[in-house]
Amino acid sequence: MTAYLLRRAPAALLTVWAASVIIFVLMRMAPGSPATVLAGPDASAATVASIEKSLGLDASLPVQYVHWLGDLATGRLGDSIIYQQSIASLIGERMESTLELAIAATVLMCLLGIGLGVLGGSTRSGRVRAFLDTTFSVLLALPTYVTAVLLLVLFGVVWPDILPVSGETLATHSPVGAFQSLVLPAITLAIPHGAVIARMLQSSMREAMHEDYVRAANAKGLTHRRVLWVHVLRNSMSTAIVVIGIRFGGLLGGAVLVEALFARNGVGQLLVSSVQSRDYFVVQDLILFAVVTAIVVQLISEIVLAVIDPRVRLV
C-alpha cells in the first residue's frame, strides 16, 4: 500500500498544482476585484488603488500566486478580504453544517443506489426491469436544481409544515431539528448520484449472472438467494465502491447549489458569497480544498476495493 501511495503521489500533487493555477487565473480574469467591492461603486480610482496596495493585489500575478502557494504550503490559509477574519475560522464555523449534509446525502445515496441496484440486478421480471431502467434514466436526467425546486414547492406550498424548506438546525443544538432540516437537501443531493450507483450495480450484477462461477454455483444446487448474495453481489460491489468514491466528490460540488437553495449556512454558501464579493483567497482555498478532498476520497475507495476484492491489485 505504501508503494502504491508513493506511485500515486506525483500525479496527485500535479493535479492539485494544476487546479491551483486554474483557480488562481480564473479568479483574476473575472470582472471586478475585492478592492472595488470594499471601496464601493462611487470610489475614485486612487481609492481603489490604495486598497489594492494594502491587500497586496498591486503585485504581479506570479508574485501573488507564489505568495498564496507559499502560505498554503506552510499551513496558513490567510485572511478573508471581505469578512476581515481568518479563512480557517470562516471554514470552521460552517464546516459542521456541510459535513452533516454530506454525511446524510452519502447515506441516502448508498441506500438508494445499492437498494435499487440490487433490485434491478436480481429481479427476473421484465416489467420491473423496464420500470427501473426508465426510473434511472429520469433520475439521471433530472438536474439538481429542478429536484430542489420540486421539493420546495411540494413541502413549502402543497404540504406545508411537514418539513422545513429553508434554514437549518445544527445537531449539537437539536438532533431532531437537525434531522428535519437535513431531509430535503440530502434527498436533493442523493437522488442523481444514487441513480448512477444503482445503474452501475444493476449492470454489473446482470453481467455477473452469466459468469462461470455463477453457473457453477447453480449447478451445485445452491438457492437463487444464496447465489445472488454470496456470489453475484459480492463480486459486483467492487464497481459500486469505486463509483461511491467518485460520487462523493460530486456531492461536494452539488452542496454549493443545494445550500444556496435551502438557505443553509455551510461552506457552499460561503463559496457563493465569496465569489460574488470577489474574495479571492476564500474562493481559492475552498475550491482547492474540494479538489484535495476528491483526490483523497478516490484513493481511499481504491484501497478499500483492493482490500475487499483480492482480484484487484494496487498498481
pLDDT tens digits along 75-99:
888 888 888 888 888 888 888 888 8
| Alpha carbon distances (Å) from 197 to 18, 213, 237, 243 | 29, 24, 10, 6
Residue percentage of the chain with pLDDT more than 70: 94
**Could you give the CA distance from residue 135 to residue 119 in angstroms, rounded to a whole number?**
13
Three-state SS string across 14-44, please?
HHHHHHHHHHHHHHHHCCCCHHHHHHCCCCC
pLDDT at res. 315: 57
Q: Among all chains, which residue has been given the C-alpha cell 434554514?
A: 167
Per-residue pLDDT tens over the stretch 166-210: 777 766 777 787 788 888 999 998 888 888 888 888 888 888 777
pLDDT value at residue 108: 92
- Domain segments of the chain: what residues? 94-279
Query: Which one has a higher pLDDT value, 302 or 68?
Result: 68
46 or 4: whose pLDDT is higher?
A: 46
Mean pLDDT, the chain, rounded, equals 82
Least confident stretch, 33-37, 165-169, 246-250: 246-250
pLDDT for 210: 78
Instruction: Place domain 94-279 in its CATH homologous superfamily.
Output: MetI-like (1.10.3720.10)
Residue 6 pLDDT > 80: no
Give 146's Cβ-side CA count (13 Å radius).
Answer: 8
Q: Identify the pLDDT of residue 312.
A: 58
**pLDDT per position as a tens digit, 104-138:** 898 999 899 888 888 888 887 888 888 888 888 88
Mean pLDDT, residues 47-53 taken together: 82
- With b for 16 or more beta-carbon neighbours within 10 A and e for fewer, the 63-76 pattern comes to ebbeebbeebeeee
pLDDT at 187: 92
Strand-pair partners of 79: 86
Inter-axis angle of helices 267-276 and 87-122, nearest 10 = 120
Instruction: Please check whether residue 294 is in contact with residue 249, taking contact to mean a CB–CB distance below 8 angstroms.
Output: yes
In terms of Cα–Cα distance, which of 112, 100, 92, 96 is closest to 247? 112
40-44, 77-81, 157-161: segment of lowest average pLDDT: 40-44
